[in-house]
A = this chain, B = another copy of it.
Amino acid sequence: MASVCSMILCANCKDVTIWGHDAGQLEDIAKAGENKYFLPGYKLPSGLRFEPDDEKAFGNCDLILHAVPCQYTRKVWQRLSKYCPANIPVASITKGIENKTLMRPTEIIADILSDDRDYAVLSGPSIADELARELPASVTAASDNMDLAVNIQVTFNTSWFRVYTNSDIIGVELCGALKNVIAIAAGILDGIKAGDNAKAALLARGLAEITRLGTVLGADEHTFPGLSGLGDLVTTCISPTGRNRSFGQRIGQEQSAKDALEATNSVVEGVATCESVIELAKKNNVEMPITQAVYSVIFEEKPVLKAIEELMTRELKSEG
């Protein structure tokens, strides 16, 4: 996603610099003019500057875009914080909830930087590969500070990449994290060939439990049916390329969680997020039957068919 964002930013802005935690990998990417690790087949913009040096990474920047897997966010900012200029806003595209602290990505960064700068989140249905091909997409830029949200909107918006603003950073960031757990469940349904009715019901009931937890944590309920909630949930659950969905599909096809993780060439955010969400749900006394079922299948070896049967035969309820 960092590579794709650099493409969009280079089309709209003057100076775009990319930093990476692994200087060798960054040099490979710079030399090839292509991110063969995570976005093979697409040329990076010729104007993009690569900067492996922690001290020089920020330069005279106006905006910092954070795109590091959630569980590595703290480590990266512990390393970079002393070079980070004051007052420059940070926009995050990272999706997850940190284990143990149960913090959202922008909370982790704020925890390290501990100053009063503004934060934003850019989120929504945005499979990197499709963005690299400039296929149409719409996403949300969210911030407590609406000036910053509008700034991100204008900075990223193109004729094929439509950005809406939203003032609910908590909701938008939670949606991005929690949908990855539901995507694992969607993959499991694909693995056992449960059909489109089952998947659609999963999305609706999944969004219902995401909304239940999110509103208790301070999010606006209107965020959840939006681009960063429902929208991102849909792509993540239907795109054949999604890592969380593919991981779930392997489990549905009777691979063990361990083997399925090893078969995935990238971070499966939903696995760590699932642990965090179960803790958050317990702490806040929120019922999340689907997330609990995914947790039981991944971490407690509950058979998939047993988990689904339990979900389908719970006490009859009203939808609300």
Interface residues of A (CB under 8 A from B): 124-127, 130-131, 133, 135-140, 153-154, 157, 159-160, 162-167, 194-201, 203-205, 207-208, 211, 222-227, 229-235, 238-239, 308-309, 312-313, 316-320
Least CB separation from A166: chain B residue: B319
Across-interface contacts of A159 in B (CB, < 8 A): 309, 312-313
**Residue contact A196 to B239, C-beta cutoff 8 Å:** yes
- Would A230 and B201 be within 8 Å (CB), given that A165-B319, A318-B164 are in contact? no
**Residue contact B208 to A226, C-beta cutoff 8 Å:** yes
Q: Which of B137, B201, B308 contacts A201 (CB 8 A)?
A: B137
Chain A to chain B: the 8 pairs with minimum beta-carbon distance, closest first = A125-B200, A204-B231, A138-B201, A137-B197, A200-B234, A200-B235, A135-B195, A225-B225
Least CB separation from A137: chain B residue: B197
**Residue contact A203 to B226, C-beta cutoff 8 Å:** no
- Say how far A12's CB is from chain B's closest CB, in angstroms: 13
Least CB separation from A138: chain B residue: B201
In the complex, A61 Cα to B195 Cα: how many Å? 33
**Residue contact A317 to B164, C-beta cutoff 8 Å:** yes
**Residue contact B196 to A157, C-beta cutoff 8 Å:** no
In the complex, A43 Cα to B186 Cα: how many Å? 30
Least CB separation from A204: chain B residue: B231
Least CB separation from A227: chain B residue: B204
**Residue contact B225 to A205, C-beta cutoff 8 Å:** no
- Say how far A147's CB is from chain B's closest CB, in angstroms: 13
Across-interface contacts of A165 in B (CB, < 8 A): 316-319
